[in-house]
Amino acid sequence: MAKPVVAIVGRPNVGKSTIFNRIVGKRVSIVEDTPGVTRDRLYSSAEWLDHEFNIIDTGGIELDDDDQLLKQVRQQAELAIDEAHVIIFIVDAKAGLTPADEEIARILYKSQKPVVVAVNKVDHPKQRDAVYDFYALGFGEPVPVSGVHGTGLGDLLDKVAESFPEQEEEDYDDDVIRIAVIGRPNVGKSSLVNALLGEERVIVSDVAGTTRDAIDTMLERDGQTFVLIDTAGMRKRGKVYEKTEKYSVLRALRAIERCDVVLMVLNAEEGIREQDKRIAGYAHEAGRGMIFVVNKWDAIEKDERTHTLFTRQIRDHFQFVDYAPILFVSAKTKQRIHTILPKVKAVAEQHALRIPTHVFNDLLMDAITLNPPPTDKGRRLKIKYGTQVSVKPPTFVLFVNDPELMHFSYERYLINKIREAFPYEGTPIRLLLRKK
């Protein structure tokens, strides 16, 4: 079930990144007292009371070399409008209502999306009178907040949550395997989906970002039903989207939430980009099964070392997903396309694999005997016992004397030991620590 998306918009230096960080609960965005310092659009998951949602910080989107502020603000707002369910429009109490605010308001008003106005920098009760000017924007009662002090954010999020769309439960059967096809624009996601389906079900074009929205397609192979969630590209909206490839992350995020296994598509011709790592990182954090699919393998010149070198490159760049198998295919020539669905099925089975508690504890005790936990300031971690608490991804709880004594290297050692004993190919493994 996909989470609602909240976008934070506003002109530069009104405090978008500060409020984003407050809502997310950790310092994710770079914050400096300089207009346009946020160098990257950022996405994060957040929650308020019993609501989970994704949030975008659109601060300082730099699309053009010339410094046309209103043009950039308009483009920023348009991007947010296209992707978000609810928009937080941040204005500055100290600066008052500006022409740029009115310009953003006009764009947002046309969108007919729910908009909540947050008047930032109301750092003292005496400044609350500044809020009244912003009623003129036409979005109802503005909410006074202070990004610096964190005040008013509860009221803001209450109002945002009221506008979340009703969550629709998906009616797929439990044995259906849902596959998200993710990756940067123009790596060949739509072509790959078509090759898997064996028919032209998704529009394919050489122009990046021509698929207008995520499309679910069901197919059956050897008695197994799959659902393909195609996230290809981004919505096409003039030149803006051609210059904002990074926005494809949000499209991928939505599909990742709804799937069991991710096909992380890489372009053999272009090699690995920073954006590939970011998208794969979201799938890893979400705990989904993952397979690297290197597409356009037919288009590069090869010798006997090409395959090995590209594999090593993937392992070097994606060390955090060293569990994911790698397939080299060509959607265009259908080369090795037939290997994808059997591998997806195998990964889905590992993703849902459960180990009996007594077997897991035997494995755990053997690992501890072979390599006892190191000491930390004279204290040693003691692991009493463990049990698997969930699947998709496989998640284990370890009962210990003090969770603080677990070093990440020892946690990695234990995960490696679990992988040695059980295949768990293509799936992350989670270890949770509880004080006994």
Q: Is 365 annotated as a binding residue?
A: no
Q: Walk along the chain (436 residues) and give the pLDDT tens digit of each residue.
A: 668 889 998 888 898 888 998 998 865 544 444 444 333 446 777 889 888 888 887 764 433 445 555 566 566 557 667 778 999 999 999 999 998 889 888 888 888 899 999 999 998 888 888 899 999 999 999 999 999 999 999 999 999 999 998 866 666 778 899 999 988 877 888 889 889 988 655 555 555 554 444 567 888 888 899 988 866 543 344 444 444 454 556 667 778 888 999 999 999 999 999 888 888 988 998 899 999 999 999 999 989 999 999 999 999 999 999 999 999 999 999 999 999 999 999 999 999 999 999 999 999 999 999 999 988 888 999 999 999 999 999 999 999 999 999 999 999 999 999 999 998 999 999 999 999 7
Same domain, 205 and 318: yes
Distance CA 308, CA 314 (A): 10
Same domain, 122 and 247: no
Q: Is 391 annotated as a binding residue?
A: no
In a domain, 171, yes or no: no
Same domain, 286 and 224: yes
Q: Is 232 annotated as a binding residue?
A: yes
Is residue 252 within 8 A of residue 231, CB to CB? The reply is: yes
Q: Is 120 annotated as a binding residue?
A: yes
Write out the residue range of the structural domain in which residue 411 sits: 357-435
CA angle 347-350-356, nearest 5°? 175
Sheet with 261-267, side-by-side order of all strands: 215-221, 224-230, 177-182, 261-267, 289-295, 326-328
Q: Is 302 annotated as a binding residue?
A: no
Same domain, 324 and 191: yes
In a domain, 170, yes or no: no
Same domain, 314 and 391: no
Distance CA 300, CA 189 (A): 18
Q: Is 188 annotated as a binding residue?
A: yes
Q: Which two structure tokens, joined as six digits, stand for 27? A: 């310092």
Q: Is 91 annotated as a binding residue?
A: no
Q: Is 243 annotated as a binding residue?
A: no
Q: Is 10 annotated as a binding residue?
A: yes
Same domain, 328 and 404: no
- Residue 291: which CATH number? 3.40.50.300
Distance CA 340, CA 329 (A): 9
Same domain, 186 and 56: no
Q: How many domains does the chain have?
A: 3
